[in-house]
Structures are given as C-alpha cells and as structure tokens.
Amino acid sequence: MIATIQYKSKKLKIDLSLPLDLSIPITGKSTNVNAWYLDPPKITPEVIDGEIISVANGAVVNFNTISFNPHSHGTHTETVGHITEEMYSINQYLKQFFFLAEVVTVAPEKLGDDYVISRKQLQFALGNKKRDALVIRTMPNTREKFSRQYSNTNPTYLLEDAADYLKSKDIKHLLIDLPSVDKEQDGGELLAHNAFWNTSGKLRLDATITEFIYVSNKIKDGKYMLNLQIAPFENDASPSKPILYKIIE
C-alpha cells in the first residue's frame, strides 16, 4: 500500500507494506538483551487463588504480568525527563510520529581504553543533509546485539561534541544500537545526554533519544521515513518500535 506523506513543502511516497523494524523485543528469557546490572525481564502468568492463569494450565485465558525496565531490557525512547528532576513524560512530549531520517553506519574510534563516536565521524556521515532523525548503526553489526549482556563491558558511546553537533544540526530524534549514548561509568556526568538535550540552556523538550535498536545489514545507509512508535507510558521512557520506510523517489 503506497501512502503519501506531506513533509514540510514536499510530498513523499512510502510503501506501508514494506516496514523495516529497528526494535529489539522484550522476552522473558535470560538471553534477553540487558544492561545496567538488572536481572532479566519476567513474563509470567498470574496466580489467583492457587490457579495459574494460562490456557496451558487449564484457564480460559492467558493473563501474564510483565516486569521490566525500559532502559535495560530492549528498544526504548526517552525524553530529557530521563536526566532531570522534573518528570517529562514521553507520552506527553512525543506528539509527532513520522520523521525524515538518515541511516548512517559508524565504525567506532579507539580513544584510550574506550571506543567512541566522534563529531568528525557524524559530520562526514551527515554533510549538508537536513534531517529530523538520525539512526546510527555501529560496527561490527551482528545479531548478537539481540542478546548481548552489556553490564560492566564499557560499550561504545558518543563524545560530548558529537552530541552537541547533532543538537546544532537540529536533529530532534537520535536512535542508536547501544544501551546508552554515554559512557557506562562516567561519574554521573552524562555528557552526551546533557549536550543533546541542551540542559545548560533551553531544554529540547521535543527531542528524544532511542537506544537499543538493531539496524539489519540489509538496510542501506541513506534517507528514510521513520515512524517512531511508543507505548503510552506516563514515564520518562517507554518501550518503542521504530519503523523505517524506504522513500519512493
């Protein structure tokens, strides 16, 4: 099904029958992707008056309770409320859901004991392109990203000036295949988060960061329409399902 989307002064066509899903699902397995020192998520049937409420155990319905942390257990989208005292709910501040996006592939640079994404790399990838959203795929890119246990591994992160550059380019929605845009242990500085959301000035309340995505190697770098779907949690972050659509030229 071909749909036409009005983007600023242009009309763009996308094929809604060919979605490119960037999300990593939440499962109840120990192999679920994980970070920030938490146990795996749990998806278990409720027990009421000693009865396990699942069809497999004789109930008429399945009635699972799910326990998870959006920041630790899968693809999630967050607002500046992730790092501020005031709670800025993703359900209140993400009000548009289609954005012109650029997919870029980056091989992280070695910096001391770390691997980082630099301003220079993003400048090279974006050039003069004007985009609402940036989708970053880091190398190497394997399906191990669906099950990697990131705690205490010092994953790749964005340098502060790289995040500041994205702010200067007016990138409103940053999506990355890492557990965080910041270093795992940075003494609470959260330099990239703070730079991207401009916490030293006027807060970018309409800007979001989406972490723990997976960009298949079948998806080429370039321009796409992004549909950024969230669950309606009144929280700083929500599990999310970013979908790309190729733009029909």
**Residues with pLDDT less than 70, the chain:** none
Q: How far, in whole angstroms, is CA 126 from its chain's centroid?
A: 19
**Residues 74-131 pLDDT 10s:** 999 999 999 999 999 999 999 999 999 999 999 999 999 999 999 999 999 999 999 9
- Distance between CA atoms of residues 145 and 214, nearest Å: 7
Do 236 and 205 contact (CB within 8 A), yes or no?
Answer: no
Q: How far is CA 188 from CA 71, 84, 151, 192, 193, in A?
A: 16, 12, 16, 11, 11
pLDDT, residue 10, reads 87
Give the CATH fold of the 2-26+70-248 domain.
Answer: Glucose Oxidase; domain 1 (3.50.30)
pLDDT, residue 7, reads 86
pLDDT, residue 249, reads 78
Q: How far, in whole angstroms, is CA 101 from its chain's centroid?
A: 13
Q: Domain residues of the chain, as ranges?
A: 2-26+70-248
- Distance between CA atoms of residues 247 and 224, nearest Å: 6
Reported pTM: 0.97
pLDDT, residue 50, reads 95
Burial of 218 (0-12, 13-18, 19+ CB in 10 A): exposed
pLDDT, residue 147, reads 98
